[in-house]
Structures are given as C-alpha cells and as structure tokens.
Amino acid sequence: MDNLILKGSWNELKGKLKQAYGNLTDDDLKYEEGKEDELLGRLQKKTGKTKDDLKKRFNSAKHTGKEKHTSKEKSSH
C-alpha cells in the first residue's frame, strides 16, 4: 500500500470507512504493518471497490486529517 496508512490516523480512517460501508467489521479493518495488501483484499471483497479506489480514499482521508491538524496548530498560536 506504499505507506498509505499512518498509525496515528488509522483509527480515524477506520471510523470513516465503517460509516461509509456499514457491513465492515473490526476484523475486516484489522491493520497490521507489512500486511497492507491483505487489508486491501478484505476491503475490496466487502466494498466492491478496486484497490486503486481504496488507496485514493486512504490518501484523501490522510490529507484531510493533516489539513485539520494544521489549522488547529495555527489557531492555537
């Protein structure tokens, strides 16, 4: 998955995926470092999305999380 998932943001991303795809379980969303392809395979089966679609969603969520974090930092100064 090319480091698409950051440890710190995985819980947030998991929540978003559960909201978007109500049929996902905690087991489906179990993330283990180095086993990203297994995670993508499980998600692909459950959501019907391609691996590329899922990667785009991960990247989008990562960037959204960074923007929120950055704006919080600016407002606290």
User: For every one of its 77 residues, what pLDDT tens digit does the chain have, with 9 covering 90 and above?
Assistant: 455 555 667 888 888 889 989 999 999 998 888 888 899 999 999 999 999 998 888 877 767 665 554 444 444 55
CA angle 38, 36, 27 (to 5 degrees): 55
pLDDT value of position 61: 73
**Residue carrying structure tokens 């919080």:** 72
Q: SS3 breakdown of the chain: % helix, strand, coil, rounded to 5?
A: 65, 0, 35
